Amino acid sequence: MRILGIDPGLARVGYGVIETAGREQTMLDCGIIRTDSGRPEGERMVEIARDLRQLIRAWKPELAAVEKFFFYRSSNTIAVVQARGVVIMTLSRFGLPIVEFPPMQIKQALTGHGHADKDEVLEAVMRELSLETPPRPDDAADALAVALTGWFQR
Amino acid sequence: MRILGIDPGLARVGYGVIETAGREQTMLDCGIIRTDSGRPEGERMVEIARDLRQLIRAWKPELAAVEKFFFYRSSNTIAVVQARGVVIMTLSRFGLPIVEFPPMQIKQALTGHGHADKDEVLEAVMRELSLETPPRPDDAADALAVALTGWFQR
């Protein structure tokens, strides 16, 4: 099964594509969609939608796994939630089934405990995908962690 | 100048289109995009984007005015902020200039004071657009109020 994991944001959207077969998981792609902070919010979200459509067309995932948020307190996170809406809408336009996981559930699925730190999650991602070097940047690694959670929790 | 006002939401997106000429403002259209609460969030946002595109193509506004939020506390409002992202992104895809106003500024622009109640705002909308009956539902009236604010604050 091919799974697209997404770590949403406005400045950076992390993405990771994995392929699963039996007990083996392989990384096909990972990276970030980066948007220019000097441009208006709306144009940045147009860019996110466009790049995400290209990723979906290129990799044809069967499932999308997206990190979920619960609480927001600053005006900065409002921009992140808005961008997340654009991500969810764009995935839905392709008829992709979407699963969503809060950070604690992702940590739990990958390391066995919900309060794991970043390094423990990163090590688990590398182990599960048989990677010799850590995926960079962090948002791409986070997106792979969400994709793996989508697989483990199916 | 033709202005599209938007009161964002997931269950209901209010919209109002006004035309301004000199000191006269006319209402061209108003209503709501309603989405089915039984369907997945992503599909509801796809519907919002599609209906909004139809409105923009039909009315060809020169400016979009959107109500702005600042703080969110419940998981319900997260859905509203996500849908707002889809609205802003869709407006941007058409290259529409976007102005945003928080509720207090809309009340101030229409009634002269930022703590006006709903009825005072509604009366101001009716007076400014020479309407004999109040625009319904509330979200449509709110969208007209945002559109008028976009005109008054230009």
Give residue-wise pLDDT tens across range A11-35: 999 999 999 998 899 999 999 999 9
Given a cut of 70, whether residue B127 has pLDDT beyond it is: yes
Cα–Cα distance, A119 to B3 (Å, whole number): 51
- Calculate the average pLDDT of chain B: 94
Per-residue pLDDT for B125 more than 70? yes
84-103 in A: which are within 8 Å (CB) of B? 84-86, 88-89, 91-93, 98
- Kindly indicate the confidence band of residue A77, based on its pLDDT and cuts at 50, 70 and 90: confident
Nearest in space to A17 (alpha carbons), one of A153, A132, A150, A122: A150
Selecting among A19, A51, A67, A142, the annotated active-site residue is A67
Cβ contacts (< 8 Å) between A42 and chain B: which residues?
88-89, 91-92, 98
pLDDT, greater one: A154 or B40: B40
The answer to whether the CB of B64 falls within 8 A of the CB of B98 is: yes
Which of B54, B51, B12 is closest to B35 using CA atoms?
A: B12
* Range with the poorest average pLDDT among A69-78, A121-130, B95-104: A69-78
CA distance A45 to chain B (A): 5
Given this model, what pLDDT does residue A22 score?
A: 85
Question: Cβ contacts (< 8 Å) between B84 and chain A: which residues?
Answer: 82, 85
Tens-place pLDDT, residues B55-103: 999 999 999 999 997 665 555 688 999 999 999 999 999 999 999 999 9
Closest CA to B66 of B84, B93, B48, B46: B84
Annotated binding residue at B7? yes
Arithmetic mean of pLDDT, A125-136: 96
Q: Identify the band that residue A75 occupies on the pLDDT scale cut at 50, 70 and 90.
A: low
Q: Average pLDDT of B11-39?
A: 96
Residue A43 or residue A78, greater confidence = A43
Average pLDDT of the residues in B26-50: 97
CA B4, CA B63: separation in Å to the nearest integer?
Answer: 6
Do residues A125 and A144 make contact, with C-beta atoms less than 8 angstroms apart?
yes
* Contact status of A76 with chain B (Cβ, < 8 Å): no
For domain A2-152, give the CATH number. Answer: 3.30.420.10
Q: Inspect the interface and report whether the beta carbons of B84 and A82 lie closer than 8 Å.
A: yes
**Is pLDDT of A105 > 80?**
yes
Strand arrangement, sheet containing B12-21 = B24-34, B12-21, B2-7, B63-67, B98-101
Q: How far is CA B92 from the centre of its chain?
A: 15
* A97 has a pLDDT exceeding 90: yes
Nearest CA in chain A to B93: A46
How large is the average pLDDT for residues B99-113?
96
Interface of A with B in 112-151 (CB under 8 A): none
Q: Using CA atoms, how far apart are residues B5 and B144, in angstroms rounded to an integer?
A: 6
pLDDT at A78: 86
Q: Which residues of B touch A81 (CB under 8 A)?
A: 72, 78, 81-82, 85
Portion of chain A with pLDDT greater than 70, in percent: 95
Q: Tell whether A33 lies on the interface with B, counting CB pairs under 8 A.
A: no
| Pair A5, A15: CB distance under 8 Å | yes
Q: Please, are residues A152 and A125 in contact by the beta-carbon 8 Å criterion?
A: no
Answer yes or no: is pLDDT of A137 > 90.
yes
Q: Indicate the residue type of B56.
A: I
Looking at the predicted structure, is the pLDDT value of residue A7 above 60?
Answer: yes
